[in-house]
Structure 1
């Protein structure tokens, strides 16, 4: 990925780097090379600064761990892992990690539309960090090695046939990669579903006294980050937002269907101090508990 094309800043002040066609063998729309200090595959790119690319980057690691930022989320990759950065995404290299393995870059438009759709090249919902099993890794590694042999062989075929063979070899690798990405996403969704279900049930039992996201995470054995991802995937909101909505729902039910004093309603949903309960209720509904009850009667 030798970047001799420079970069231009976008409206966010982040430089965007184009695919460096001039440094590609025979000018084809892809490159493949080792990731190692002696190979300047990232020349010109601001390694430790956030930057944007308008092409695909796939890194297959043979060492690690490496911490790499993609779209402002940190991913730690080790030997046998892959990172897939898609066009338009921002990323940043780690200052302290040595990148070892193979890097593949692809220019948008190098592959036909049918292949682009079949391989999910622009599925931004798929995870960028992929961890293949032994058999999957062997298949991906073998496919990538074959692609590298075809890429470096510019002597035995005319340029038009060379490019065609590269497209076929690249498609074979990407089909394997896309299958891994889709499988990983589905496994992640199943895990998120399980995590969210446990969290939802715990909140249902505990919301009258427990409004702490950290307390739920600790009780369930999850990190706070895992809980945030699972709840956001299932509901589109944060764990704190989910808890607060359940508390408000119960408060509304008690205000509407019982004659409990406002202070007692607050205690029932975890607010011993009536003033704190009123502030919380007003913040989330725009009205006070008293006004809410009055509207219904």
Structure 2
């Protein structure tokens, strides 16, 4: 279970020059205090050697040799055990990739995966070139180009992220924008101009779940983030997520998780409050 503090560290990426940064795990260990954090930027960790773990949105992912972990903007994460891990962490804004293909990959990456042995030399070379260029802090778009090359080599793509399913892509993007205001899958079908059955087939083909289930999962994830890390009450969560009142939200949450919001929140082990501090990297945090 995730240990959480009463305040999550909100981190805003404000790049100086290029919209990409790199750091070693040695540097990350210097900056990391073990607290939970949520940023508006991508965090891509590439592990060369050692073992450890990182918790992302209530799921713990192992850090192992020749593996990668991707933390998307908005996800809550905590570096649990990185004492023996060697490798690099890449930080970048969502708009940094320069090709359509890599933007597609960035839109819905895997959370954790192992890099195949045959792919590792290419991933290693792409990563090292990116590290070299970011260390020089160039003013041009070389880091963004090299980031795109690294992403293409890593191929961290979900099965549901195929460009061959544009209907799901549009639905996914619309849900991210409107899930706090619209909880009815029919709204998204109407807004996107598709028949409900067309939307349902596209989402099921991409995820194996219905459009309604996908939407519910997204709302529940945000509710858990608010309950666990921001320590909001059920009433405050209801207001933040567009429910008419706390009772309505509680019924929704219990139906989806089997627990009332307060009981789920109380089941978490609370750590000491996270002190505010700067995001690892050059840019300031607000």
Q: TM-score, normalised by structure 2?
A: 0.49
Q: TM-score, normalised by structure 1?
A: 0.47
More helix by proportion, 1 or 2?
1
Q: Which has the higher contact order (CA 8 A, sep 6+)?
A: 2
Q: Which has the larger radius of gyration?
A: 1
